Amino acid sequence: MADNLSDALKKLKITAVDSTADSLEGCLDCLLQALAQNNTETSEKIQKSGILQVFASLLTPQSSCTAKIANVIAEVAKNEFMRNPCVDAGLIPPLVQLLNCKDQDVLLQTGRALGNICYDSHEGRSAVDHAGGAEIVIDHLRSLCSKTDPASEKLMTVFCGMLMNYSNENDTLQSQLINMGVIPTLVKLLGIHCQNSALTEMCLVAFGNLAELESSKEQFAYTNIAEELVKLFKKQIEHDKKEMIFEVLAPLAENDIIKLQLVEAGLVECLLEIVQKTVDSDKEDDIAELKTASDLMVLLLLGDESMQKLFEGGKGSVFQRVLLWILSNSHQLQLAGALAIANFARNDGNCIHMVDNGIVQKLMDLLDRHVEDGNVTVQHAALSALRNLAIPVVNKAKMLSAGVAEAVLKFLRSEMPPVQFKLLGTLRMLIDAQAEAAEQLGKNVKLVERLVEWCEAKDHAGVMGESNRLLSALIRHSKSKDVIRTIVQSGGIKHLVTMATSEHVIMQNEALVALALIAALELGKYLYG
């Protein structure tokens, strides 16, 4: 074979000048056979022979050998070390020109060659970009889109792969494809060819590449991508296929319009079904699927319209089922359930309804399960939900009566800044205009000492800011001499003075009101003593 290959390479160089199709074809068959047996070694010999430069002149639409030459280039370009030599040999311009021909075999091999040269190659991509290859390929996809014969579907799969390799992890080239209108074409293609798994997979990978860009989400929102993805998702049995769709859904679901479209297309019911099937499983794939599905559910609830649609006045079946998650033994579901409640609790009406229907006790029970060596993410999520629920004025007294302040104070020992931050925010919301509660908490020496300590947490600006604000709130809402004494004796005054010079106007005002109250209650000596 080695001798045959050497002979073929020599012959190719000679016949390239004055070639007949038959002699060329025999040499190319020999090359393809050698590449099939040992691609790397054969590619090295092809590179050393200088034949790549000869190929550049042979790539013409008129030649009957063009498809085979493009096939040889596609095969050698599977090797990373061959991609730059292909570019340097000037192969890209003639290959891109071949995209204008009508012969399907030439188009297929040319698409393969360009796709392989572009794979992880900056030089390859730049050359294809410079030659205008992407636009021609997108035009082909538009005209082929409705054809369902196997040859056309194979060609579309290759072209989608070529565009993927061309733009992968390159924001500039991805933006270029978006501006060329590739998204509506790919969405249409997915809808028509959803039975073709190879083409579908290629579309999904292309969507995954493009969906990270903000400009793509705006274009996706004007297509029926939500409907197509949900339809495709419902058909999937294999974990890997579901995972591929999830990878497209997650970035798309960051867009509020698409969130609503996904809810209306029935994605939520699919997610709830996955949770139900996987919650008690200890298989790795099922655990991963449970996490992805519940995380995506929480993401859908971040959109105001999608959240309100699922809340349905507190009577929605989706809302009711998600509430049950916090009773689960799965930490992942407890976390997702608490985050979902925090997301539902984004307007007064929802918060009031949830508090009146007993959600607070469920959240306190959840927190109780995580006091000793608890799961930090669950603690953080449950505290977030309680904080949001405490915002409406009518909820504060109810939550205080239910013992929320005491439940929250159990986490005062936490050394985790995210938990500290939410704990402080929840207490501050609870005591707003609640004099009795503010006085009771303000006289709690352990709490006040911890606040003073956290007022110096320079590594955690959020915790430091919330500690200062809670100190000030305890004075402002209690207007109590006992509270002021406790804060003074714990060394809190200096922090209020510092807070009065904060760059945030709200914090300045809160500190000044607290300091004015100290002075008005004839305790001005504490400011100086």
pLDDT tens string 366-412: 999 998 778 899 999 999 999 999 999 999 999 999 999 999 999 99
Chain segment 243-265, per-residue pLDDT in tens: 999 999 999 999 999 999 999 99
What pLDDT score does 529 carry? 46
First-last CA distance in the chain: 97
Chain segment 119-159, per-residue pLDDT in tens: 999 999 999 999 999 999 999 999 999 999 999 999 999 99
Give one DSSP letter per residue of 250-294, joined into a string: HHHTTSHHHHHHHHHTTHHHHHHHHHHHHTT---HHHHHHHHHHH
* Regions of the chain where pLDDT drops below 70: 1-3, 5-8, 10-22, 522-529
Q: What burial letters (b/e) apply to 152-162, b meaning 16+ CB within 10 Å?
A: bbbbbbbbbbb
User: Which residue from 146, 2, 158 is spatially nearest to 71, judged by alpha carbons?
Assistant: 158
CA separation, residue 87 to residues 79, 82, 496, 525 (Å) = 13, 9, 67, 81
Tally of CA atoms within 13 A in the half-sphere of 193 that contains its CB = 30
What pLDDT score does 1 carry? 46
Share of the chain above pLDDT 70, in %: 94
Distance from C-alpha of 96 to C-alpha of 78, rounded to nearest angstrom = 18
CA separation, residue 459 to residues 50, 242, 427, 463 (Å) = 61, 41, 22, 9
DSSP-based helix, strand, coil % in the chain, nearest 5: 75, 0, 25
What pLDDT score does 8 carry? 66
CA separation, residue 378 to residues 367, 372, 432 (Å) = 8, 13, 25
Distance from C-alpha of 385 to C-alpha of 390, rounded to nearest angstrom = 9
Instruction: Decide if 473 contacts 509 (C-beta within 8 A).
Output: no
